[in-house]
Amino acid sequence: MLVLAPSLPPQQILYPDFEKNGIQVFMKRDDLLHPIVSGNKWRKLKYVIEDAALNNKTHLVSFGGAYSNHLLALAAASASYGFKTTAFIRGEPVQNHMLGLCRTFGMQLHFVSRSAYLNKYQLYEDFASKNESTYFIDEGGRGVLAAKGCEEILHGTTGYTHVVCAVGTGTTLAGLTKAAAEFNMKAEGICVLKGAEDMIHEVELLVGEKATIHHQFHRGGYAKTDEELWRFIRLFAQKTGILLDQVYTAKMMMGLAMLIEQGYYPPNSRILAIHTGGLLGVLSEFGNT
């Protein structure tokens, strides 16, 4: 069993850039749910792990890059439920703290070329034919069951007009979009990938609803950083005591600040931003700040 910290009520964020037209910004700290299985990665795994167990699968197999938050969350969560785990890692063999942590939790790692990685299903089929009771989990943990878990991010939250999250695969936004409709809120995603305009279709495939996605805040593309982004992270940490990661949550909060500044939100909006975690994967880069 994975033991999680109790979900805390959202905290108000007092940050100068957000103070406009009576708008209030709050943050739900899903990054505090668990030190390793942080934020939305647990939400995405919850029903997937349950499904694997129901189907008597004992070996979870997934995919990702060498800094995948998803793979580390999977390794740690699976260990607490007694599953074996195997991951296919895209690219040349490398070593870093994330992969070291994955191994520490018992995950077997296989590095595969970028071209082989393109055909994940073939890799999985070959592996499954030689191993017992395997269960496929897509890259980034994306999928319908994952979106269902993300709906629960909004459990027990009322009184907000908008909920905002960062968008990678779109699974978290899909869950939020579905749940927000029930809570009479509007869900919005800040996309951290460049050229991902078809993301809206991904979300629709998952939950059958049209999402609202902002595509102008990726700052050059996935994991791309610049001095202005680092400056925002430092200022935000100093004014609020909350650390953002440079790949997802900092781009979300910076995008949110810009939208507020541009007068996008109606006066007196109460905006709930989701801290989806992701701090472990990126800590090494703070060495340069």
Ligand X SMILES: *Cc1c(COP(=O)(O)O)cnc(C)c1O
Q: Which of 153, 249, 259, 260 binds ligand X (CB under 6 A)?
A: 249
- Per-residue contact string for residues 209-248; x = within reach of ligand X by CB under 6 A: ------------------------------------x--x
Angle in degrees, 0-180, between the axes of helices 171-182 and 199-207, rounded to the nearest 10: 60
- Which lies closer to ligand X via its Cβ, residue 134 or residue 276? 276
- Which lies closer to ligand X via its Cβ, residue 58 or residue 67? 67
Q: Which of 166, 200, 256, 257 binds ligand X (CB under 6 A)?
A: 166
Q: Which amino acid is at 21?
A: N
CB of residue 246 vs ligand X: minimum separation in angstroms? Answer: 10
CB of residue 131 vs ligand X: minimum separation in angstroms? Answer: 26
Residue with tokens 């296919």: 88
Q: Which of 134, 157, 172, 269 binds ligand X (CB under 6 A)?
A: 172
Residue from 164, 163, 166, 175 nearest 203 by CA: 175
Q: Is 65 in the site for ligand X (CB under 6 A)?
A: no
Angle in degrees, 0-180, between the axes of helices 227-240 and 249-261, rounded to the nearest 10: 90
CB of residue 251 vs ligand X: minimum separation in angstroms? Answer: 9
Q: Is 278 in the site for ligand X (CB under 6 A)?
A: yes
Alpha helix positions (H), the chain: 40-54, 69-81, 97-104, 114-118, 120-130, 144-151, 171-182, 199-207, 227-240, 249-261, 279-282
Site for ligand X in 127-146 (CB under 6 A): 140
Please answer whether residues 151 and 79 qualify as being in contact, where contact means their C-beta atoms are separated by less than 8 angstroms.
Answer: no
Q: Is 20 exposed, middle or buried (0-12, 13-18, 19+ CB in 10 A)?
A: middle
Count the site residues for ligand X by CB under 6 A. 19
Q: Which of 64, 65, 149, 168 binds ligand X (CB under 6 A)?
A: 168
Please answer whether residues 183 and 154 qualify as being in contact, where contact means their C-beta atoms are separated by less than 8 angstroms.
Answer: yes
Q: Interface with ligand X by CB under 6 A: which residues?
A: 39-41, 69, 140, 166-173, 245, 248-249, 276-278
